[in-house]
Amino acid sequence: MTLGLLLYGNWEMSFEHLVFHKAWVNGQWTESNSGKTFAVVDPASGHELARVPDLDAQDTRNAINVADQAFKSWKNQTAKERFQLLKNWHQLIIDNQPALAELMTMESGKPLTESMDEVLYGASFIEWFAEQGKRIDGDVIQTPSSDRRIITLKQPVGVCAAITPWNFPLAMITRKCAPALAVGCTVVIKPAEATPLTALALAKLAQDAGIPDGVVNVVTASHGKEVGEELTRNPIIKKISFTGSTPVGKLLMKQSADTVKKVSMELGGNAPFIVFDDADIDAAVQGAVTSKYRNTGQTCVCANRILVQEGVYEEFVTKFADAVSNLAVGPGTNPDVAIGPVINQAALNKIQGLVDDALNRGAKTLVGGTTHELGGNFFQPTVLAGVTSDMRVAKEEIFGPIAPVFTFKDDQEAIELANDTEFGLASYFYSNNLPRVWKVAEQLEYGMVGLNVGIIANEVAPFGGIKESGLGREGSKYGVDDYLELKYMCLGGL
């Protein structure tokens, strides 16, 4: 069943013109040398949506060589010329927002309203970096010798590899590729096995925008290990950008070491969401629901641990549990749904295991706690109370619709609990006490801190973590740094 559309009855689709079944290399639809394919499955129904080529290391090597050839001319286009092509790409994405959103919902399961937002979010990086590409300036540095002049230039690093996750199949591509293209690099994209269709649609729109063949390439593969080894060990690749788990990120860093590549890593998280006793509790509840249950809890910056001060614990938990109990569960194509399916059966099993571990160690369920009556990959939005630091939910990235709620006594205990993890990506807290705001924000060991907000990502802010949550920053004016080399020129004999 192609795109399994029978299962949605009379639902009218507008995205079939963006559905492609082959890899994208050198501006052409490409099969795998082996002839092998793999299935793309709708997590809401379990139906097969499409089959795409299962590329191997040799196929990937070919895409890298193509990108290398394209780099020789792409880097020599002016920043203004690249700006215009990126602006064209941005506009085509905006024009196709409904179609791209529906395609994302079909292959990732996220609610359609969130997919619509992601299209705009992803497009914003292209617009932002199109502008930033015109602002890559060098310097003339004061010389220590009167017969010399010192000049610095910034030049594109070369062919870049982007390895992207399934939970944001559009935005994670544009957040990596837009700065690369803007400064003159070419890219080879390895999208997640679960969500290659969105990547292929983006590549075709890039061609439609006038971006030359070979500048954007998409390698579809189910065996990420083999393709990842080629991307990390091939000396033509000069930069690797990866979003995914910390163990995989560490492996990619090790593999990249032999060729001394630039690497940027956006890895796992264990975000604390702290509610102090001077907070606006209603606002904190809404922020916690938004942060925790966005994309069914499957984002790296989701609230993973909710820490509530003792004096407001009962009020917060009562209101929070009530709000969560009203979240509608179902296929993301239903406009009323807030909670879609998790990505696959393995994810469902992990989530159930985390809940069972917490309950066996003394936690109690306030809402949910098990699979949903819809069956398949659906899990009830869940709130756990009485959670302690010895439970798995305190240590592991949940990546599902489970909210464990802890208590704390004072500021110092909250900070210690929040920092008691090897991760350091995102953190959140709610307070209206200005001295407390500065104290807590400065002591939280995280790359990003949200104060009285549950959503913090945008194109103008630097996104990234510290500790074992990664290296580098994406978005913002800092997001081009890893795609550039700094060259020093010393002019003598003057």
Give the residue numbers annotated as catalytic, written as ranges.
266, 300
3-state secondary structure of 314: helix
Q: What is the 3-state secondary structure (H, E, C) of 453-494?
A: CCCCCCCCCCECCCHHHEECCECCHHHHHHHEEEEEEEECCC
Kindly state the tokens that stand for 216. 């954007």
Q: Residue-wise over 57-95: b if at least 16 C-beta within 10 A, else e? A: bebbebbbbbbbebbeebbeeebeebbebbebbbebbee
Kindly state the tokens that stand for 442. 């400065």
Element (H, E) at 161: strand 159-163
Long-range contacts formed by 225-228: CB under 8 A, 24+ apart:
226/56, 226/57, 227/55, 227/56, 227/57, 227/60, 227/190, 228/163, 228/190, 228/252, 228/255
Kindly state the tokens that stand for 58. 């040799």
Provide the residue type at 162 as one letter: A
In degrees and rounded to multiples of 5, residue 441 shows phi and psi of: -60, -40
CB 474 within 8 A of CB 177: no
Tell me the C-alpha distance between 275 and 428, whole Å: 9
3-state secondary structure of 155: strand
Q: Which residues contact 145 (CB under 8 A, 6 or more apart)?
A: none
CB 139 within 8 A of CB 151: yes
Dihedral of alpha carbons 466, 468, 473, 475, sign: negative
Helices and strands in the chain: count of H runs, count of E runs? 14, 20
Dihedral of alpha carbons 377, 380, 383, 387, sign: negative
Q: Name the β-bridge partners of 30.
A: 23
Torsion of CA 395, 398, 404, 409, to 10 degrees: 40
The Cα-based distances of 309 to 319, 364, 405, 407 in angstroms read 15, 18, 11, 6
Burial class of residue 277, CB neighbours in 10 A (0-12, 13-18, 19+) = middle
Q: Name the β-bridge partners of 38.
A: 52
Tell me the C-alpha distance between 336 and 350, whole Å: 27
Burial class of residue 149, CB neighbours in 10 A (0-12, 13-18, 19+) = middle
